[in-house]
A and B are shown apart, each in its own frame.
Chain A
Amino acid sequence: MPKRSIRYWWRELADRAATALAVLAVVLVLLPLGAVFTYLVMKGIGSLNWAFLTQTPKPVGESGGGMANAIVGSGIILAIASAIGVPLGIGSGIYLAEYGRGRFGDVLRFTADVLNGVPSIVVGIVVYGLVVVTQKHFSAFAGGIALGIMMIPTISRATEEVLLMVPNNIREAALGLGISRWRSTLSITLRTAYSGVITGVMLAFARVAGETAPLLFTAFGNQFWSLKPNQPTAALPLQIFVYAISPFDEWHRLAWAGALVLIALIMIAVTAVRVVAARGMLKGTA
């Protein structure tokens, strides 16, 4: 064996150092994740009680109260958003995958990516101008439109991706049976890709569930119960924001609890996505 040169040891060292730095990077990245969750639980769990989930906020100075109106309000806004975003998103995805393979499809695809990158506050301003100004008041309706718009590109790209993964011979089999194109697209192609589409929808949902900026000038927020979609509505992320930047300790406490609830709901959605996706993959393998 020839004697190992200094050069060789140096290269070994570089290799080891690189690995160590990479591991350090991973640790530093996961650290804030752990820290955020830890503090959320620490500071929020104490305030999480039945009152919190069922009561509206109490006036400043009084302790207690909850964010029930914000939770329900978020629900209403998200329902409206899904009613807009899911059909338009899936429809766009179907168009891009089944009919839009040419130049025009590329234009639409690019537009979807552009829309994805637009800051959410800009979406809020646009919906403010189009809906709130026209209606002359804030509403859950406007908030739902803003969030719905944000869902469309995400769902569209995810749907397209997953439809393209359906092998072409399945479409051929359907055509060979004399099934008309629209029936085959819905009942065969889309059905085969179903779990992937659900994944895309839930991811988009989880993303907009936590959005605050677009709601600032659309839903606006409300200290009381707001069940009609045509009035200013409370939303969980909005409420957390308002409480967090306030000078009152009591409201800070509520903000932590609210954040814990919000995270819990989003985490449920994200893990559900993983479960559905895994199960869908096993079922769909040919």
Chain B
Amino acid sequence: MKLGPIPAPRTPTQPDLRVEKRIPLIREEPNRFADRGFEFLMLACGLSLLVIVGLTIYELVDKSHLSLQQFGWRFFTGSNWDPVAGDFGALPFIYGTVVSSLVALVIAVPLAVGTAVFTTEMCPKPLRGPISFLTELLAAIPSVVYGLWAIFVLAPLLRNYVEPFLAKYFGWTGLFSGPPFGIGMLAAGVILAVMIVPIISSITREVLVAVPQTQREAALALGATRWEMIRIAVLRNARAGILGAIILGLGRALGETMTVTMVIGNRPEIAKSLFAPGYTMASVIANEFTEATGDLYLSALVHIALGLFLVTIIVNALAQLLIWTVTRGAPSRANA
């Protein structure tokens, strides 16, 4: 091993530790307190989250106190909503919320998952960006605009074409009976579906992208067609995440207020037919809160809000857990 020429050191055995006088260029002394203070300030910002959630729980429990005392658990099983008589039962709203959300899911899930599968597995590269941008655009439309469109375009459409069609061919199921108003449970379910497709789709896309490429390659190497590869290698692996995406969409549907209020008909009744008007937990609050006379009335409405709050938290937490198992940690925005 040939070494290059080595310069002769000045004092080989006695290291030179001399010190020259140095004029410091920087005047400012490092301030230890500034660092601590900054960290504390940032912590305070973070704590605001806890404070807000704490205040929310406190407010909801406090303001619903009267109703909690008066009705307790019966509140959610009683089906009589009678402000005049002072008797409040929230079952019709639970029914309305559940049914409208279920209808929305039935419509939205195949569409959203189909779109996600298309954009990640089947779509030619140049189209990916535009399609995902457009799906994101759906999410950007405010609920009141969807509601406006639903009242004046969707409802007449349902009333004049879709509902008669459904009544004629599927009326035997009992789901499509009664006069077709257009406005009602079906309208609410359809417009909710449109609104939750973007969120289910984007999370599903993230989850599909997280499936390692090696899985796809293994399936293809075995001679699978593209659809078989998607079914075996991708969808199966991403199952938990997709379920999480669906539950997240459900959470969104449960809490959606304005659009539903505008097309569901606002009648606290439990009816089998999807043509009938209904009422959801969120919309009864929106409609009646400012008109509520008397403390018990107000308290009952806040009681509903408390129930809604708890349900959405549980649903969302479950969804996050499922999604986390597939993507392992903070999911980043799905890139085109």
Whether B228 and A11, one on each chain, are in contact in the complex, defined by CB atoms closer than 8 angstroms, is yes
CA distance A24 to B148 in the complex (A): 26
Which of B45, B53, B117, B332 interacts with A22 by CB under 8 Å? B117
Q: Using a Cβ–Cβ cut-off of 8 Å, how many residues does chain B contribute to the interface with A?
A: 88
Which of B118, B145, B227 interacts with A40 by CB under 8 Å? B145
Residue of A nearest to B153 (CB): A39
Which of A36, A129, A256 interacts with B141 by CB under 8 Å? A36
Stretch touching chain B among A54-62, A166-174, A179-187, A223-231:
A179-187
CA distance A154 to B131 in the complex (A): 24
Q: B140: CB under 8 A from chain A?
A: yes
Q: A69: CB under 8 A from chain B?
A: no
Whether A26 and B114, one on each chain, are in contact in the complex, defined by CB atoms closer than 8 angstroms, is yes
Whether B330 and A119, one on each chain, are in contact in the complex, defined by CB atoms closer than 8 angstroms, is no
Whether A237 and B309, one on each chain, are in contact in the complex, defined by CB atoms closer than 8 angstroms, is no
Instruction: Point out the residues of chain B lying under 8 angstroms from A25, CB to CB.
Output: 110-115, 118
Given known contacts A33-B137, A262-B145, A118 and B56 CB-to-CB distance under 8 angstroms: yes
Residue of A nearest to B147 (CB): A244
Whether A108 and B46, one on each chain, are in contact in the complex, defined by CB atoms closer than 8 angstroms, is yes
Instruction: Point out the residues of chain B lying under 8 angstroms from A40, CB to CB.
Output: 145, 149
Given known contacts A25-B115, A213-B258, A130 and B55 CB-to-CB distance under 8 angstroms: yes
CA distance A33 to B44 in the complex (A): 41
CA distance A128 to B194 in the complex (A): 30
Q: Count contacts between A and B, CB distance < 8 Å.
A: 260
CA distance A186 to B109 in the complex (A): 43
Whether A39 and B254, one on each chain, are in contact in the complex, defined by CB atoms closer than 8 angstroms, is no
Instruction: Point out the residues of chain B lying under 8 angstroms from A116, CB to CB.
Output: 316
Whether A161 and B332, one on each chain, are in contact in the complex, defined by CB atoms closer than 8 angstroms, is yes
Stretch touching chain B among A45-53, A75-83, A95-103:
A95-103
CA distance A206 to B137 in the complex (A): 11
Q: A143: CB under 8 A from chain B?
A: no
Instruction: Point out the residues of chain A lying under 8 angstroms from B286, CB to CB.
Output: 121, 213, 216
| Min C-beta distance of A72 to chain B, whole Å | 18
Whether A100 and B59, one on each chain, are in contact in the complex, defined by CB atoms closer than 8 angstroms, is no
| Residue from the set A121, A128, A212, A252 with the largest chain B CB neighbour count within 10 Å | A121
Whether A125 and B305, one on each chain, are in contact in the complex, defined by CB atoms closer than 8 angstroms, is yes
Given known contacts A22-B117, A210-B142, A119 and B255 CB-to-CB distance under 8 angstroms: yes
Whether A181 and B148, one on each chain, are in contact in the complex, defined by CB atoms closer than 8 angstroms, is no
Instruction: Point out the residues of chain A lying under 8 angstroms from B99, CB to CB.
Output: none
**B:203-232 near A, CB below 8 Å:** 225-228, 230
| Min C-beta distance of B140 to chain A, whole Å | 5
Whether B49 and A152, one on each chain, are in contact in the complex, defined by CB atoms closer than 8 angstroms, is yes
Residue of A nearest to B285 (CB): A121
**B:81-134 near A, CB below 8 Å:** 110-115, 117-119, 122, 131, 133-134
Which of A22, A29, A149, A241 interacts with B262 by CB under 8 Å? A241
Instruction: Point out the residues of chain B lying under 8 angstroms from A29, CB to CB.
Output: 111-112, 115, 135, 138, 197, 201
The proximity string for B residues 262-303 relative to A, scoring 1 for CB distances below 8 Å and 0 otherwise, is 100000000000000000001001100110000000000010
Whether A91 and B46, one on each chain, are in contact in the complex, defined by CB atoms closer than 8 angstroms, is yes
CA distance A235 to B283 in the complex (A): 19
Q: B334: CB under 8 A from chain A?
A: no
CA distance A209 to B152 in the complex (A): 23
**A:105-127 near B, CB below 8 Å:** 107-123, 125-126
Whether B45 and A87, one on each chain, are in contact in the complex, defined by CB atoms closer than 8 angstroms, is yes
Whether B149 and A36, one on each chain, are in contact in the complex, defined by CB atoms closer than 8 angstroms, is yes
Which of A15, A33, A35, A111 interacts with B153 by CB under 8 Å? A35
Q: B12: CB under 8 A from chain A?
A: no
| Min C-beta distance of A19 to chain B, whole Å | 6
The proximity string for B residues 27-56 relative to A, scoring 1 for CB distances below 8 Å and 0 otherwise, is 000110011011101111111111011011
Given known contacts A92-B48, A115-B53, A210 and B143 CB-to-CB distance under 8 angstroms: yes
Instruction: Point out the residues of chain A lying under 8 angstroms from B34, CB to CB.
Output: 180, 182
Instruction: Point out the residues of chain B lying under 8 angstroms from A98, CB to CB.
Output: 42
| Min C-beta distance of B235 to chain A, whole Å | 11
Instruction: Point out the residues of chain B lying under 8 angstroms from A149, CB to CB.
Output: 52
| Min C-beta distance of B61 to chain A, whole Å | 11
Which of B39, B114, B145, B316 interacts with A114 by CB under 8 Å? B316
Can you give 8 A-B contacts (C-beta < 8 A)? A15-B228, A29-B138, A108-B47, A122-B60, A157-B330, A164-B330, A178-B30, A270-B136
Sample of 11 further A-B pairs with CB below 8 A, known A237-B258, A240-B144: A11-B228, A25-B110, A25-B118, A29-B111, A39-B153, A91-B46, A107-B50, A119-B257, A161-B332, A212-B142, A213-B258
